[in-house]
Amino acid sequence: MSTINSELQNKLKKAAAVKAADYVKDGMIVGLGSGSTVTMLVDELGRRVQEDGLNFTGVSTSISTAKQAESLGIKISDLDSIDTIDLTIDGADQVDSDFNGIKGGGGNLFWEKIVAANSKKLIWIVDQSKIVDRIGAFPLAVDVEPFGSHHVLKKFSDAGFNPVVRTDKNGKIFKTDSNNIILDLHLHKINDPDKLSNALINTVGVVEHGLFLNAVNEVVVGKEGAPQIMINSK
Ligand code: 5RP
């Protein structure tokens, strides 16, 4: 992962977010992801709703995105109240050239995955520092049911996954919007993402994990110059 300063990173995130806002058209049902890049997207979509009369319905992947969107005049519908989502736009923590990604830096990976799984198209918005040869340097978030989670932690430790219970800025155990906990796996590199994905999801107590394997259709990458679009031909 190339390092860039946070001012440039924010500029590139914003460029990707504004570019991706062009994908949202009148009448669409749009999944809205979570994180700082999506916050910039939602700001831009809110501006278009208010100034250009853009008319779409959002389905949020977190309570915070829903609150932000509604405060800007974007209609939000519940995932269970709609049949299908036309398009979801979300952020990511790392993406490789096989379109495998790590998500969950903000802890919203479960809602993000279920919204993505019910979308016709998935787009990620990232800055250039998140494009990597091989995913794994970013800690992999695993959403775990609190009941029995000590045993899940032990299984992950025994497997050499270096799990750490996520805490919030006050040092309290972080809770997801579904009231689950997050175990961050410090893996450094992931040699076989499919094998790891299967091992994690087959561990009793795991609700979901932050590996999104070949699930994304397009990645809008904020780059110096202009955003670049990576298209996954699958
Ligand atoms: C939250 C996520 C985010 O989309 C991911 O962490 C990217 O965040 P940011 O745009 O703040 O860099 O997966 O669970």
Q: How far is residue 93's CA from residue 127's CA, in Å, rounded to a whole number?
A: 10
Residues 6+ apart with CB under 8 A from 4: 12, 127, 128, 129
pTM of the model: 0.97
Q: Is 136 in the pocket of ligand 1 (CB under 6 A)?
A: no
Q: Which pLDDT band holds residue 234 (cuts at 50, 70, 90)?
A: confident
Q: Is 227 in the pocket of ligand 1 (CB under 6 A)?
A: no
Instruction: Supply the pLDDT for residue 3.
Output: 80
Q: Is 103 in the pocket of ligand 1 (CB under 6 A)?
A: yes
β-sheet bridge partners, residue 59: 31
Q: Is 105 annotated as a binding residue?
A: yes
Q: What is the Å distance from ligand 1's center to 9 Cα?
A: 13
What average pLDDT does the chain have?
97
- To test the pocket of ligand 1, the residue of 3, 12, 34 to mutate (highest count of ligand atoms within 8 Å of its CB) is 34
Q: Is 57 annotated as a binding residue?
A: no
- Residues 85-120: tens digit of each pLDDT: 999 999 999 999 999 999 999 999 999 999 999 999
Which residue's entry shows tokens 């998140």? 130
- To test the pocket of ligand 1, the residue of 89, 93, 109, 212 to mutate (highest count of ligand atoms within 8 Å of its CB) is 93
Q: Is 104 annotated as a binding residue?
A: yes
Q: Is 129 in the pocket of ligand 1 (CB under 6 A)?
A: no
Is the pLDDT at 2 greater than 80, yes or no? no
Q: Which pLDDT band holds residue 143 (cuts at 50, 70, 90)?
A: very high
Q: What is the Å distance from ligand 1's center to 119 Cα?
A: 18
- Residues 172-226: tens digit of each pLDDT: 999 999 999 999 999 999 999 999 999 999 999 999 999 999 999 999 999 999 9
Average pLDDT of the residues in 134-145: 98
Identity (one letter) of the amino acid at 100? N
3-state secondary structure the chain: CCCCCHHHHHHHHHHHHHHHHCCCCCCCEEEECCCHHHHHHHHHHHHHHHHHCCCCEEEECCHHHHHHHHHCCCEECCHHHCCCECEEEECCCEECCCCEEECCCCCCHHHHHHHHHCECCEEEEEEHHHECCCCCCCCEEEEECCCCHHHHHHHHHHCCCCEEECECCCCCECCCCCCCEEEEECCCCCCCHHHHHHHHHCCCCEEEECEEECCCCEEEEECCCCCEEEECCC
Instruction: Supply the pLDDT for residue 167.
Output: 98
